[in-house]
Structure 1
Amino acid sequence: MEYNPHYPTILPEFIALSLVFVLNILIPVSAIFAARRLKRRRWLPHTTAFLWVFFSPLTLAILTTPTMAPDEVGGPGDGFIVLPILWETPLVLVVYAIVLLGLHAKRQNVSAPHLSS
């Protein structure tokens, strides 16, 4: 993954890949903490986090696609940089959903009145 000045990208591939990997973890975690501090619209940080993680492969593709002449054709391995993010995306979304369901169940158990016998 060398940077080629003849085919400029928005970010070098290794920086863009690292950035998207880290943001796919940090954004859902920060959404959980942000939603706890909100009184209204607690769903908004979670929606934003979900959309970020869902569209992160597209974001990575935009950041790392080189600028080419109109008559040029991409090589056979041009899209391989997106594969790690395509594998990470469902994993992060499933773990995020499990954590949210666990937090919701915990909040329901705390707010339920206890019957004393």
Structure 2
Amino acid sequence: MVNLNQSVAVIDDDESVCRSIKRLLRSVGIEAETFSSGDEFLDTLSAIPSYRPACVILDIQMPGTNGLEVQRRLAPMGLPIIMITAYDELSARQTAIGSGAAAYLRKPFNGTILIKAVEMAIGRTPQP
């Protein structure tokens, strides 16, 4: 695992999305760890109590525990969460933002916007 305090957790059931976000973040010096489901990520949090990413990028629609439920479970931890989705439903957006999401991006999203959202979420000065 990477330096846990400086890593971003990317949770999406689409492996190509995980790979591309990880590559995009790495291009600006941000390390990421990927998870293929909300359940896998929650299991990791339970199994490794010291694991706390600096930010979570979370897909809304996934098999098993969906992104909104993962967000709800993470709320007590105060982790910044960036929600991503291919299905932009108003109720999901309102729930995510109302529950404190740092950003809500619709796929396909602009890489520059995602990078800026992550930089703001982790307290890093955005690159020009």
Q: TM-score, normalising length from structure 2?
A: 0.23
Q: Higher relative contact order by CA 8 Å / sep ≥ 6: 1 or 2?
A: 1
Structure with greater Cα Rg: 1
**Per residue, is there more helix in 1 or in 2?**
1
